[in-house]
Amino acid sequence: MKIFAVGMNYAQHNKELHGTLYTSEEPVIFTKADSALLKDGKPFFVPDHLGRVDYETELVVRICRLGKGIPERFAHRYYDAVTVGIDFTARDLQQQLRQKGLPWELCKGFDGSAAIGEWVDKDKFRDVNALHFRLDINGSTVQEGCASDMIFKIDRLVSYISEFFTLKTGDILYTGTPAGVGPVKIDDHLTGYLEDRKVLEFNVK
């Protein structure tokens, strides 16, 4: 199983991080180790040595068949389910790595950094490219997004990634986070919603 993720795929989040609107001609792709996956409502343990850790709420899709060099017009056939996930980011470390021009794996791919909710068949929704999702912390909404605001839509992401990696059944794609990211702290209770359906729930320890 491979975990793919997309950076800077929402314009307002780009402005939030960079102070100005940053766009790329191609999707910004990175990967997480399989040990990053956090599922089944297990708690997220904040690493003591990483400084500030931010939540980044994202729409996540599940790859359902083998594919390589997938044309964008056929990409919808290669994923079958969606959910809400959290791309935890060690923000202080990310800034240090960025300043040095170094890769993001240490700040993005550490153990437990890819929380994931319950899968929902994509056919239960009229249009996955218009799905709303949100994150509540301790009962208050802290981040909201809509897939229609993505710079690069899901089919484009699947097609693009398949130019470099063979996609396999069970691979996971985090599609990017909207504006509103922020830090988590011990004893926070996180709940993620896909439309009005609760699909993600866990505690921070």
pLDDT at position 14 is 52
Q: What is the pTM of this model?
A: 0.94
The answer to whether the Cα torsion of 110, 192, 19, 6 is positive or negative is positive
Each residue's pLDDT tens digit, 167-190: 999 999 999 999 999 999 999 999
Q: Which of 133, 143, 132 is nearest to 184 (CA)?
A: 143
Residues 122 and 63: their CA atoms lie apart, in Å, by 11
Residues 173 and 166: their CA atoms lie apart, in Å, by 13
Residues 195 and 204: their CA atoms lie apart, in Å, by 23
Whether 160 has a pLDDT exceeding 60, the answer reads: yes
H-type helices in the chain, by residue range? Answer: 11-18, 91-100, 105-108, 154-162
pLDDT at position 11 is 82
Each residue's pLDDT tens digit, 76-114: 999 999 999 999 999 999 999 989 999 989 999 999 999
Residue 58 burial (C-beta neighbours within 10 Å; 0-12, 13-18, 19+): buried
